């Protein structure tokens, strides 16, 4: 009889194996428009599920607390070297377990409880960890928030400057989770220098676009840059911190031993693979296509009467305000999901509805781009979305759209599955 330790997942736990198979089928048959999701390449998935999962590696390459690190040290060093080449950073820490822990490490490196920090408000497109009240970052620190103009939904850099001069934050955060336009890192850097703040750029959503050269890079402008490693970068679920050499020791000590123990070595290997891919011409073409597809999807939606925050997009992300459609964001998102179009409900700037029942939906094109779809398919997606949002309770419409979604997906097989 085969030992349980040598059984496959299907043999040992068919219940979990079956659920994973179902999720794989869902990802094959759905149009995945969640802006923070993608399809990790096969090689990335292989690295993440490798024997590196078995190894514990507290510390950093050449300075570990456990023996047997010869291979792991090479893996981590290779990941760092490849990412340095892609982003042009002086120092990179690849050990954060995700984007939020990476951001918390930055706070731990530079701030004491009660220090003033400043970031984009959540309801204007910022992230929880940039000082929002329900986050530990809004509880432990004196959080000042800047926003966007009501007239055009763009970051109000004059307001940023005014607030920064008044409050002189220890950390000035730039970057967003629901902002569809290019971030002016140069302007933020000017403001930070004048008021004596450390500029931190959170590029979790756009790191693939930065690596691909279709969004300006904050490296060299911001002293510290944080990111997830999946989303548009198309790597494993993890985090990384890029910084200038002068802050390297502070950052490394904040990650370990400050916030966590040993890194996830399989994830580090997957990140090394993703970094190798990010250095290729194919990746640059993929990054350009993400933006082209987002523009095409935005145009298709606007032609069909959708109102878009800021009037369009410059990156991978689209934020739709459904107020003029007469459909709440959560109702629309649920109906779209039943029809095979997966997105998330989202607040829009100056939203009159609550975050639990917002007016908008957030869309992104990285996953559909990874499937090989282009502008023609984006227009089809816009048409299908219009059909669903126009009749969110009509099961016949949802069924018809679901069939059209399956047919569209069949022509563009999902990578990595």
pLDDT tens digits, 19-78: 999 999 999 999 999 999 999 999 999 999 999 999 999 999 999 999 999 999 999 999
Residue 34 belongs to a domain: no
In a domain, 20, yes or no: no
Q: Of 278, 297, 331, which marks where a domain is finished? A: 278
Mean pLDDT of 313-318: 98
Q: Which of 32, 231, 234, 330 is catalytic?
A: 231
pLDDT at position 1? 66
User: Are 239 and 306 part of one and the same domain?
Assistant: no
Does 261 fall in a domain? yes
User: What pLDDT, on a 0 to 100 scale, did the predictor assign at position 140?
Assistant: 94
Q: What is the pLDDT of residue 133?
A: 87
Does residue 262 share a domain with residue 122?
A: yes
Residue 393 has pLDDT above 80, yes or no: yes
User: What's the CATH number where 203 sits?
Assistant: 3.40.640.10
Active site residue 202: yes
Query: What pLDDT sits at residue 319?
Result: 98
Helix axes of 395-410 and 329-338: crossing angle, nearest 10 degrees: 60
Structural contact between residues 173 and 130, judged by C-beta atoms closer than 8 angstroms? yes
296 pLDDT band, cuts 50/70/90, is very high
For the question of residue 116 being annotated catalytic, the response is: no
Q: In this structure, are 118 and 235 located in the same domain?
A: yes
Give the relative orientation of helices 329-338 and 375-390 as an angle to the nearest 10 degrees.
110
135 and 254 fall within a common domain: yes
371 is catalytic: no
- Are 270 and 297 part of one and the same domain? no
Is 239 within the bounds of a domain?
yes
Which of the residues 28, 46, 55, 56 is marked catalytic?
Answer: 56
pLDDT over 70 at 352, yes or no: yes
Instruction: Give the pLDDT score at 2.
Output: 80
- Considering the domain boundaries, does residue 116 fall inside one? yes
What is the extent of the structural domain holding 376? Answer: 289-410
Mean per-residue pLDDT of the chain: 97
Task: Give the separation between CA 262 and CA 55, rounded to whole angstroms.
Answer: 9
Q: pLDDT tens digits for 145-165?
A: 999 999 999 999 999 999 999
Q: In this structure, are 254 and 296 located in the same domain?
A: no
C-alpha distances in angstroms, 62 versus 57, 73, 75, 124, 394? 11, 7, 12, 43, 61
Note whether residue 158 is domain-resident: yes
Same domain? 239 vs 329? no
User: Of 202, 223, 252, 321, which one is the catalytic site residue?
Assistant: 202
Which of 168, 237, 253, 338 is the catalytic position?
A: 237
Chain center to CA of 61: 27
Mean pLDDT computed over 376-386: 98
Q: pLDDT tens digit string along 164-183? A: 999 999 999 999 999 999 99
Per residue in 229-278, pLDDT (tens digit) is 999 999 999 999 999 999 999 999 999 999 999 999 999 999 999 999 99
**What is the percentage of the chain residues whose pLDDT exceeds 70?**
100
pLDDT value, residue 267: 98
When pLDDT is cut at 50, 70 and 90, the band that residue 126 belongs to is: very high
* pLDDT at position 49: 95
Contact 9, 20 (CB under 8 A): yes
Residues 221 and 312 in one domain: no
Q: What is the CATH number of the domain that holds 334?
A: 3.90.1150.10
Q: Does the residue 1 lie in any domain?
A: no
User: 311 and 186 share a domain?
Assistant: no
- Among 243, 278, 313, the domain boundary falls at 278
Q: What confidence score (pLDDT) does residue 182 get?
A: 97
212, 326: one domain: no
Among this protein's residues, is 56 annotated catalytic? yes
Residue of 29, 37, 58, 90 with catalytic role: 58
Give the mean pLDDT of 99-119: 97
Asked if 299 is an active-site residue, the reply is: no
The two tokens of residue 392 are: 């969110």
Structure confidence by residue, pLDDT tens digits, 199-214: 999 999 999 999 999 9
For residues 270 and 364, membership in a common domain is answered with no
The tens digit of pLDDT for each residue in 297-309 reads 999 999 999 999 9
Same domain, 106 and 184: yes
Q: Please check whether residue 258 lies inside any domain of the structure.
A: yes
**CB-CB contact of 132 with 138 (8 Å):** yes
pLDDT of residue 341: 98
Is 231 labeled as catalytic in the residue annotation? yes
Total domains in the fold of the chain: 2
Q: What is the mean pLDDT of residues 404-409?
A: 98
Which of 213, 245, 278 finishes a domain? 278
- Is the pLDDT at 15 greater than 90, yes or no? yes
Q: Which of 228, 229, 365, 369 is catalytic?
A: 228
């Amino acid at each position: 009889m085969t030992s349980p330790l040598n059984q496959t997942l299907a043999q040992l736990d068919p219940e979990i194996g079956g659920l994973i198979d179902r999720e794989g089928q869902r990802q094959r048959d759905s149009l995945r428009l969640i802006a923070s999701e993608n399809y990790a390449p096969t090689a990335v998935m292989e690295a993440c599920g490798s024997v590196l999962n078995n190894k514990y590696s507290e510390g950093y390459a050449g300075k570990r607390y456990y023996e047997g690190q010869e291979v792991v040290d090479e893996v981590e060093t290779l990941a760092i070297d490849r990412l340095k080449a892609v982003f042009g950073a002086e120092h990179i820490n690849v050990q954060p377990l995700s984007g939020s822990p990476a951001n918390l490490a930055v706070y731990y490196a530079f701030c004491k409880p009660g220090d003033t920090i400043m970031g984009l408000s959540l309801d204007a497109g910022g992230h929880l960890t940039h000082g929002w009240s329900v986050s530990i970052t809004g509880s432990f620190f004196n959080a000042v928030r800047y926003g966007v103009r009501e007239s055009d939904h763009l970051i109000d850099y004059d307001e940023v400057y005014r607030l920064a001069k008044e409050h002189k934050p220890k950390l000035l955060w730039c970057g967003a989770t629901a902002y569809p336009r290019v971030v002016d890192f140069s302007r933020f850097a000017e403001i930070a220098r004048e008021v004596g703040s450390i500029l931190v750029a959170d590029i979790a959503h756009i790191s693939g676009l930065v690596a691909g050269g279709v969004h300006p890079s904050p490296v060299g402008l911001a002293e510290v840059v944080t990111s997830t490693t999946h989303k548009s970068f198309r790597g494993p679920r993890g985090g990384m911190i890029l910084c200038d050499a002068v802050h390297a020791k502070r950052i490394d000590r904040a990650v370990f031993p400050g916030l966590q123990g040993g890194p996830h070595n399989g994830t580090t290997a997957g990140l090394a693979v993703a970094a190798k891919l990010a250095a290729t011409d194919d990746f640059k073409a993929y990054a350009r296509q993400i933006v082209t597809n987002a523009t095409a999807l935005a145009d298709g939606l606007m032609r069909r009467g959708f109102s878009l925050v800021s009037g369009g997009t410059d990156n991978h992300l689209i934020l739709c305000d459904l107020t003029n459609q007469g459909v709440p964001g959560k109702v629309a998102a649920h109906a779209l999901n039943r029809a095979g179009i997966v997105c998330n409900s989202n607040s829009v700037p100056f939203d009159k509805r609550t975050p639990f029942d917002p007016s908008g939906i957030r869309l992104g094109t990285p996953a559909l781009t990874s499937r090989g779809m282009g502008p023609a398919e984006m227009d089809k997606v816009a048409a299908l979305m219009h059909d669903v949002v126009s009749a969110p309770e009509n099961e016949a419409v949802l069924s018809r759209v679901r069939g059209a979604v399956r047919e569209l997906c069949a022509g563009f097989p999902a990578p990595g599955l």
